[in-house]
């Protein structure tokens, strides 16, 4: 595989935002990655106006596709979703027999979604982060 050093002009590859609160939670790596994936999909649902009758954003993401997106087995994906449900980070709503569940992604109190790749340079505003000054 070709790898290259980053320069100031390097365009970043597509990436997912990783909420900092996940660092403080006792979640398996797979569950944390599943949450990151679901949060990204929830952001798309938000942009597309996919809400239920009370205004909650939902997504439809069959567990087989979640497993494939995470590159994990079906049972790993199911365990990750169960872990996220138990942690209160997602809620799944059953529908008809052959329809995938609706998934609601939840955020801990006081957290907000910052869309990916739009931190507007906030990371670079503090002088102590500027290595040229040291």
H runs (alpha helix) in 3-130 = 29-48, 63-70, 74-86
pTM: 0.77
- Output the CA torsion sign for 67, 71, 74, 75: negative
Q: How many CA atoms lie within 13 A of 30 on its CB side?
A: 18
Q: pLDDT 10s per residue in the chain (134 long)?
A: 678 899 999 998 898 989 999 999 999 999 999 999 999 999 999 999 999 999 999 999 999 999 999 999 999 999 999 999 999 999 999 998 888 899 999 998 877 666 555 444 444 333 333 444 44
């Amino acid at each position: 595989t070709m790898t290259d050093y980053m320069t100031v002009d390097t365009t970043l590859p597509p990436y997912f935002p990783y909420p900092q609160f996940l660092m403080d939670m006792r979640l398996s790596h797979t569950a944390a990655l599943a949450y990151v994936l679901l949060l990204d999909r929830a952001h798309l649902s938000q942009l597309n106006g996919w809400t239920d009758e009370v205004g909650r954003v939902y997504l439809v993401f069959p567990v087989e596709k979640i497993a494939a997106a995470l590159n994990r087995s079906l049972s790993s994906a199911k365990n990750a979703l169960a872990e996220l449900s138990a942690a209160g980070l997602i809620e799944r709503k059953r529908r008809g027999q052959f329809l995938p569940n609706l998934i609601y992604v939840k955020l801990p109190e006081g957290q907000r979604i910052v869309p990916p790749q739009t931190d507007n340079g906030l990371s670079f505003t503090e002088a102590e982060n500027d290595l040229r000054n040291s």
